[in-house]
């Protein structure tokens, strides 16, 4: 096999260049928050738990249950999910109240087929409104989970005096009790996920449990000899902090999630938990045979970035062979010794545990963590087995979006919002984030891309911002004026834009007209106005 080998590179950015970009006033605070003087590699602040932290590697890795259709016909599979309060034992001996899809965290996994229509009926038995977004879905606008397209609780809900950014949070397609989300599934096999997208409250509602996997399969993927069955495992990685009684600790201004959005000022840059969960369990362990495994890795954290590696590393070969990204299979495998993954990104990787002797304990570590957050989970290699799987040299064919055919370039500046008396936007009591110096307004369309046309979108960042585009995936064509980064291969729907950096992507919207979203997937930034709307025409 002749895989391409990628060695991670560091951003070429001097301190003077960074200060020039953000401005001199308050630059020390900005440097700290972007990892040049504070928590390395993060734009967020640590919120410590008040409960005792469990010892790692004491619980088995749970696998979220697969949801079964309630019925099927010749073209469509129908599902029903009830959003309801539940209780989970995440920390030993403590009960954690959750907001869950079917009352569990993570929610049930949906497994669907490309080209086969999927309808998911959501019933809201929670005390708060919700909006469901299929992240990575090629979805009509009325089922995309626009943040004001609210599904109100079955028992009703009275809108608060606060009406959200730019006017009313009740301007969208609002329904009560139940709503059908229709997914045509005209897209290739990929690891998607679904989560809450309610305007102003996405952060706390996802933090409390509203997230789950949605896996799409197709014939191309099925023809490959990749690991499958029990050796094809989704890993939802996220961080949480806990109150003394086991409840999730989150610094909401309004803990009822009814009216006042946002978080305490100390956490406006984002929230880092001190407990790492994988599929809802703290630092779990998985017994693996000495064979190849496929892991669908999702960073479902609100703000934390990870640098994942295997310790000990295999004596020969890479730690990870990447076979897929956000939007499905790569053209060819890419080898990595470590993977940097920002919130909402997915990496589909193969790990060959035959490189280890039975009895070996292999830890998935986090190079961007400290203390126990420098560990994620552990694999225990059990026995040698026959393994017919392999990673072929060729995985798929990907159409290249030619930048020379782009009809226009749009710039999107991701920055802190500046309060009165602080035009620099760096110091003071900032409580919001902006795109192109504007707070989000659900009534305002900031672009009108035409279906079928290629455009170049340039994302320009002050700090770390994982940028997500709805409706269609994109291809990274430049990073900082140079080549794409080592983690930018394939179709993406979320790209990690680092401090004082710009990233160019080629995007082409197809099929569906309507209002869609562009936003930072640091959920605290998103809730504090770092979103923009565009309308495909």
Contact 44, 522 (CB under 8 A): yes
Give pLDDT, residue 435. Answer: 97
Give pLDDT, residue 394. Answer: 98
| pLDDT at residue 485 greater than cutoff 50 | yes
CB burial string 369-381: b at 16+ within 10 A, e below: beebbebbbbbbb
Per-residue tokens: 222:
């099925």
Interstrand relation of 375-384 and 285-290 (parallel, antiparallel or unpaired): parallel
Give pLDDT, residue 422. Answer: 43
Give pLDDT, residue 428. Answer: 40
Residue 527: its H or E element? helix 523-527
pLDDT band at 157, cuts 50/70/90? confident
pLDDT band at 169, cuts 50/70/90? low
Give pLDDT, residue 417. Answer: 84
pTM of the model: 0.92
13 or 369: which leads in pLDDT: 369
Residue with tokens 């004491």: 58
Tens-place pLDDT, residues 388-436: 999 999 999 999 999 999 999 999 999 998 654 444 333 344 468 999 9
Per-residue tokens: 24:
């001199």
Give pLDDT, residue 158. Answer: 82
Tens-place pLDDT, residues 360-379: 999 999 999 999 999 999 99
From CA 282, how far away is CA 61, in angstroms rounded?
Answer: 9
Contact 129, 149 (CB under 8 A): no
Contact 226, 294 (CB under 8 A): yes
Give pLDDT, residue 419. Answer: 53
Going from the N-terminus, what domains does the chain have, and what CATH number goes with each? 71-222 (2.60.40.420), 403-536 (2.60.40.420)
| pLDDT at residue 223 greater than cutoff 60 | yes
Give pLDDT, residue 39. Answer: 72
pLDDT band at 2, cuts 50/70/90? very low
| pLDDT at residue 87 greater than cutoff 70 | yes
Residue with tokens 């969960």: 277
The C-alpha torsion from 229 through 294 and 101 to 186, rounded to 10°, is: -90
CA end-to-end span of the chain, whole Å?
Answer: 45
124-138, 152-166, 179-193, 356-370: least confidently modelled range: 152-166
Reported in sequence order, the residue ranges of 103-245 that DSSP labels E, i.e. its strands, are 110-113, 117-124, 132-135, 151-152, 175-176, 178-183, 190-196, 211-217, 232-240
Taking residues 188-207, what's their average pLDDT?
A: 98
Q: Is 73 exposed, middle or buried (0-12, 13-18, 19+ CB in 10 A)?
A: exposed
The DSSP code sequence of 46-78 is: E---SSPPPPSS-SBPP-PPBPPPSEE-SSEEE
Mean pLDDT of the chain: 91
From CA 458, how far away is CA 463, in angstroms rounded?
Answer: 15
From CA 252, how far away is CA 256, in angstroms rounded?
Answer: 9
Tens-place pLDDT, residues 525-534: 999 999 999 9
| pLDDT at residue 18 greater than cutoff 60 | no
Give pLDDT, residue 40. Answer: 76
SS3 219: helix
Interstrand relation of 271-272 and 45-46 (parallel, antiparallel or unpaired): parallel
| pLDDT at residue 29 greater than cutoff 50 | no
Task: Name every residue whose Cβ is closer than 8 Å to that of residue 366 and which is 6 or more positions away in sequence.
Answer: 276, 306, 307, 308, 373, 374, 375, 376
| pLDDT at residue 35 greater than cutoff 50 | no
Taking residues 336-348, what's their average pLDDT?
A: 98
Give pLDDT, residue 196. Answer: 98
Tens-place pLDDT, residues 277-332: 999 999 999 999 999 999 999 999 999 999 999 999 999 999 999 999 999 999 99
Give pLDDT, residue 418. Answer: 67
Tens-place pLDDT, residues 38-76: 477 999 999 999 999 999 999 999 999 999 999 999 999
């Amino acid at each position: 096999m002749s895989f391409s080998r990628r060695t991670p590179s560091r951003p070429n950015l001097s301190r003077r260049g960074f200060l020039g970009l953000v401005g001199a006033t308050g630059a020390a605070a900005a440097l700290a928050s972007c990892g040049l003087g504070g928590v390395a590699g993060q734009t967020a602040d640590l919120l410590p738990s008040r409960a005792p932290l469990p010892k790692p590697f004491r619980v088995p890795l749970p696998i979220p249950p697969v949801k079964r259709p309630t019925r099927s016909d010749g073209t469509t599979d129908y599902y029903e999910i009830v959003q309801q309060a539940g209780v989970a034992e995440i920390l030993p001996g403590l009960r954690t109240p959750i907001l869950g899809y079917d009352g569990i965290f993570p929610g049930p996994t949906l497994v669907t087929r490309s080209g086969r229509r999927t309808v998911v009926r959501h019933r809201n038995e929670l005390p708060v409104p919700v909006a469901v977004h299929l992240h990575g879905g090629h979805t009509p606008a009325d089922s995309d989970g626009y943040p004001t397209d609210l599904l109100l609780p079955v028992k009703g809900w009275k809108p608060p005096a606060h009406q959200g950014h730019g006017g009313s949070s009740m301007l969208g397609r609002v329904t009560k009790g139940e709503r059908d989300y229709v997914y045509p599934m005209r897209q290739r096999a990929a690891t998607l996920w679904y989560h809450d997208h309610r305007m102003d409250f996405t952060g706390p509602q996802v933090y409390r449990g509203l997230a789950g996997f949605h896996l799409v399969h197709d014939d191309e993927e099925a023809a490959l000899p990749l690991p499958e069955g029990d050796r094809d495992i989704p890993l939802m990685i996220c961080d949480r902090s806990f109150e003394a009684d086991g409840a999730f600790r989150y610094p909401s201004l309004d803990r009822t999630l009814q009216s006042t959005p946002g978080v305490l000022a100390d956490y406006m840059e984002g929230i880092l938990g001190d407990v790492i969960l994988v599929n809802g369990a703290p630092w779990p362990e998985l017994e693996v045979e000495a064979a190849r495994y496929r892991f669908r890795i999702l960073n479902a954290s609100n703000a934390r970035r990870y640098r994942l590696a295997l310790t000990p590393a295999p004596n020969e070969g890479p730690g990870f062979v990447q076979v897929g990204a956000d939007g499905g299979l790569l053209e060819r495998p890419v080898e990595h010794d470590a993977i940097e993954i920002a919130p909402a990104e997915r990496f589909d990787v193969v790990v060959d545990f035959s490189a280890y002797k039975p009895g070996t304990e292999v830890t998935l570590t986090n190079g961007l963590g400290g203390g126990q957050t420098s560990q994620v989970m552990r694999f225990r290699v059990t026995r040698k087995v026959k393994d017919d799987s392999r990673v072929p040299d060729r995985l798929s064919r990907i159409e290249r979006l030619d930048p020379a055919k782009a009809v226009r370039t749009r710039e999107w500046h991701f920055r802190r919002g500046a309060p009165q008396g602080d035009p620099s936007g760096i110091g003071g009591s900032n409580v919001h984030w902006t795109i192109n110096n504007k707070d989000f307004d659900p009534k305002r369309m900031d672009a009108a891309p035409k279906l079928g046309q290629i455009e170049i979108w340039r994302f320009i960042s002050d700090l770390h911002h994982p940028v997500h585009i709805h409706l269609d995936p994109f291809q990274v064509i430049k990073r900082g004026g140079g080549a794409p980064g080592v983690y930018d291969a394939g179709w993406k729907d979320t790209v990690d834009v680092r401090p004082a950096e710009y990233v160019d992507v080629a995007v082409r919207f197809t099929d569906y007209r309507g209002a869609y979203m562009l936003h930072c997937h640091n959920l605290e930034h998103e809730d504090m106005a770092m979103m923009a709307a565009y309308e495909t025409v």
